[in-house]
Structure 1
Amino acid sequence: MTFHLKGERFTEKIETARQRAAALQQRVTESPQQQPQLLAGSLEELKTALEELHVAEEELRQQNEELLGARGALESERQRYLDLFEFAPDGYLVTDAAGTIREANRAAAELLGILPTYLVGKPLIIFVPEEARRAFRSQLTQVPKLGLVQEWEVRLKSRQGKLFNAALTVASVPDKQGKGSSLRWMLRDITARKQAEEKIRYYHLQNLRLQEEVRLKSQFLALMSHELRTPMNAILGFTQLLMRQAQHQLGQNQIHMLERIFNSGKHLLKLIEDILDFSKLEAGKLELNLEEFDLVELVTQTVEELQSLAQQKHLEVHIHVSLDNPCVVNDSNRVRQVLVNLLSNAIKFTDSGSITVDACEPTPDQIAIAVKDTGIGIEESEIQQIFQEFRQLSQSLTRTHGGTGLGLAITDRLVRMMDGKIQVESQPGEGSTFRLELPREVTSSSNTAVIV
């Protein structure tokens, strides 16, 4: 039962008691000879009326208590709303339909740089820079029609003249006739977010620019390497021809000069081919030509080809093969290239001792090749960096041994392209062991992967 109905019921009981008292008085007046009988009946009716009034009084007292409790809860809820409104981290405003501020919390006042008491009564548009006010008015007129506008980004200016980016959420609150009579605003400073988005946009553009530069560099390297390799092959060919034809016509000094031209030309051609291969790998355009071949035969031939370089430094080269099945499916030229790079480095950085090539099969579906030397070794801090392009151990070694620093980078990428992996174990002064593991049969999907 509502408070209104309880009040009406109490009024009705009072009216009933009044009517009974009036009826009693009238009967006594009309029949004086029956006063004793009427008095007894009237007293009974009066007693009943008083009991009903007592019950009504209790109900009214209970109603008053409930009303006081409801008022307390309502006041508590109102205070909670005021606290939420006042101490919210975001700015909150209440304006009329034209944007004149009626209420403002602390956060809104701090954003706009003015005390809340002075903020009330001011139009919100005065905190919008002049050049943006026309667009602000146009959007403001649409809010009552739309009902809700979320994340409306606006540049605002505080009373002190500080500009900041704000995200506004505006809701129209209709009156009893269904028309928008007031607006509820939430203001949030998004300057930091906008700055972060601008940085992300800048870094994204920089990344695209760097990618384009890398692409152009790769194209340039591929083009120049190709253009350089053609005349270099001609130089080597003519040098070999001169060495064969003029062996009895030239003196020992001239022949020695031709040999130096030929060896320098081969070294330069190797550098050009490294650059060409690296540019293809970097651009993802190098593909494997898969075929079945005998791995033992390939390892033996490769070692024999480089035997002369080892003999010049009085190094011994040993081959240990432990393969039940020597047949593999891979690109024989690229496997040879990997072995040449590892053996060349082993010979280059070993001044005395020996080099050992081990080939085995850890599992029936996998092969492993290890190239071990007794050379200068590698510092532990540099092991993780030796597979990076243009990376060499030190400037002194670069001057002593030469090279571009691409050999191991190309080796690492080729091995990964073959779905394999390469590992290094080394101690300074105790030599190095490069161990590569490859699948016995490389799938066709591997040679299309872009290695990065």
Structure 2
Amino acid sequence: MNAKCNESMLAQRLEVVTQHAEKLVDKAQNLLEQHPEILIECLTELQLALEELRVAEEELCQQNEELQIARAVIEIERQRYLDLFESAPDGYLVTDLYGVVQEANQAAARLLNIDPMYLVGKPIASFVPEEARRGFRSVVNQLPQISRVQEWEVQLQGWRGDRFDAALTVEAARCPSDGKAIALRWLVRDITSRKQAEAKIQQLQMQNLHLVEADRLKSQFMATMSHELRTPMNAILGFSDLLLRQFDPGQQGQQRAMLECIFRNGKHLLGMIEEILDFSKLEENHLKLKLEVLDLAQLVQATAAEMSALAEEKHLKFKLHVAQPNIAIVNDSGRLRQILINLVSNAIKFTDSGSVYLEVHELSRERIVITVSDTGMGIDPVNQAHIFEAFRQLDQSIARRHNGTGLGLSITNALVQLMQGKITVESQLGRGSTFRVELPRRLSLG
């Protein structure tokens, strides 16, 4: 607009100078003989007018240069816009207020499976499935007032009828002077892959919910069955013990041997039931520690005395080392004993020759360490990463050779974590294993 004003002013100035020059010429012709001094004056004024013309000419040249530079910049920006418009990965469209396409880039043409030159002039509603067009047109009619719609998910169909899920972002372009909507700008994005991924995630989430529910039902079933089995098993053990007391301690016989077998296997089954019950409680976060002040050295020595008989049966050396005669701690004595029994019994179970070593010492004023080592078969490095998983057995052959639920180490690990401690294992095949339990000296559940 400034360029037009400058051109108009220049034209006016030229017109004034021209008229002035014509008047001076006429005046000079009439007064040349009579008044030569007037001629000189006229020539001087003409010279000034010509000077003004030269200045005006220079201004015009400068304005032309500025105008050419501005046009070049505009052309560069226009080309840049066209390049961006055409090379954009998403589809871009410009339509009138009724949704009739005025401009389209290559990506939009590819999405709609139509040549760009044939896309221009077509209503965008024609690429919506027929059953959804009425609702689509209703939204389009409101777009000039809404101004912007973000991620409007619709189904579109290409010119050959192939459908795909799309997300549309539509914005009304407005006139700078009065703010009225003059066109609609569309961004069209194919979200078919995203919708498929979302459906897959939703399916996996549903499967996960079913698995969680199945796991909950399994834990509930295990807990219920453990309670139900424990009652008759205690009765079997009670009556077996009562019958065994009727025999003299030194008396041998088939009936006594049978009763001892019933009692021994009943205790084994009860131990397995207790493990399953503990595992169910730990899974449901129902197991609570009963804290008390206790002497860890005394607890370890008493537990070691119980376990030494198992080592003697396999002709293993059982070594115990307690660094201090008294180690006062705050913890659950019953669950600590369970950890010790699980680790020591496992060490004895998987050691055929050599020794089992139990050690307790203070790591610092705040923490204590319990270590159980053996010279047994060891654990393969591949299995070490899974050794604390529930129901994990080393392999099928070992499972057949050594009975058990496969829950002992899993329960031990869960108990140690419940006690705010940590358990680690170091092992070499054929050279034995070392389990190390580190616990806080004073456990607080507050």
Q: TM-score range by the shorter chain?
A: over 0.9
Q: Could you say what secondary structure the match of 1:34 adopts?
A: coil
Offset of 1:25 from its aligned partner? 4.5
Aligned counterpart, 1:227: 228
Report the equivalent of 2:65: 65
Residues 288 and 331 in structure 1, CA contact (< 8 A), matched pair in contact too: yes
Partner of 2:13: 13
Q: Which amino acid aligns with 1:381?
A: V
Distance 1:311 1:209, change over 3 A: same
Secondary structure of 1:370's aligned partner: strand
1:22 is displaced (CA, Å) by 4.1
1:92 paired to 2:97: no
> 1:341-384, CA deviations, whole angstroms, 9 ceiling, x for partnerless residues?
11111221222333221111121211111122222222233222
- Cα distance in 2 between the residues matched to 1:372 and 1:248: 36
Q: Which residue of 2 aligns with 1:242?
A: 243
Q: Which residue of 2 aligns with 1:323?
A: 324
| Mapped partners of 1:417, 1:254: distance in 2 | 45
In structure 2, C-alpha distance between the alignment counterparts of 1:351 and 1:74, rounded to whole Å: 90
Structure 1 window deviating more from structure 2 (366-375 vs 111-120): it is 366-375
Q: Which runs of 5+ in 2 are unaligned?
A: none
State the number of aligned residues.
445
1:234 to partner: Cα distance: 0.7
**8 Å contact 2:297–2:325 — kept in the other structure?**
no
**Which residue is equivalent to 1:104?**
104
- Is residue 380 of structure 2 the alignment partner of residue 379 of structure 1? yes
1:143 offset after TM fit, Å?
0.6
Q: Measure, in 1, the Cα distance between the counterparts of 2:16 and 2:126.
A: 65
Name the CA distance, whole Å, in 2 between partners of 1:2 and 1:174.
23
CA distance in 2: counterparts of 1:362 and 1:28, whole angstroms: 122
How far 1:125 sits from its partner (Å)?
1.0
Distance 1:114 1:262, change over 3 A: same
Task: Give the Cα–Cα distance (whole angstroms) in 2 for the partners of residues 177 and 313 of structure 1.
Answer: 99
Whole-Å separation in 2 of the counterparts to 1:307 and 1:26 = 141
Aligned letter for 2:105?
A: N
Distance 1:185 1:16 in 2: 53
- 2:287 partner SS: coil
Deviating more after overlay: 46-55 vs 166-175: 166-175
* SS of residue in 1 equivalent to 2:172: strand
- Confirm or deny: 8 A CA contact 2:356 2:373 kept in the other structure: yes
Percent identity between matched residues is 56
2:389 aligned partner: 388
Distance 1:112 1:333, change over 3 A: same
Counterpart residue number, 1:173: 173
Residue 24 and residue 357 in structure 1: after superposition, are their counterparts in 2 closer, same or farther (change >3 A)? closer
Say whether residues 1:313 and 2:314 are aligned partners: yes
In the other structure, the counterpart of 2:130 is: 130
Paired residue for 2:293?
292
Letter of the structure 1 residue corresponding to residue 74 of structure 2: L
More deviation in 116-125 or 423-432? 423-432
Q: CA deviation at 1:394?
A: 1.9
Q: How far apart, CA to CA, are the structure 2 residues paired with 1:306 and 1:416? A: 24
Q: What are the residue-to-residue correspondences of 1:43-82 with 2, within 5 Å?
A: 43-82=43-82
Q: Cα distance, 1:177 vs. partner?
A: 6.0
Q: Which segment is superposed worse, 23-32 or 202-211?
A: 23-32
Q: Is the 8 A contact 1:296 1:321 kept in 2?
A: yes
Distance in 2 (CA, whole Å) between partners of 1:371 and 1:21 is 120
1:195 matched to 2:196? The reply is yes
Q: Is the 8 A contact 2:173 2:183 kept in 1?
A: yes
In the other structure, the counterpart of 2:401 is 400
Q: Which runs of 5+ in 1 are unaligned?
A: 446-452
For residues 410 and 52 of structure 2, what CA distance do their matches in structure 1 show?
104
TM-superposed CA distance for 1:312, in Å, is: 2.0
**Structural RMSD (CA):** 2.1
Cα distance, 1:33 vs structure 2: 5.2
Following superposition, the deviation at residue 413 of structure 1 comes to 1.0
The TM-score with structure 2 as length reference comes to 0.94
**Alpha-carbon contact 1:6-1:59 (below 8 Å) kept:** no
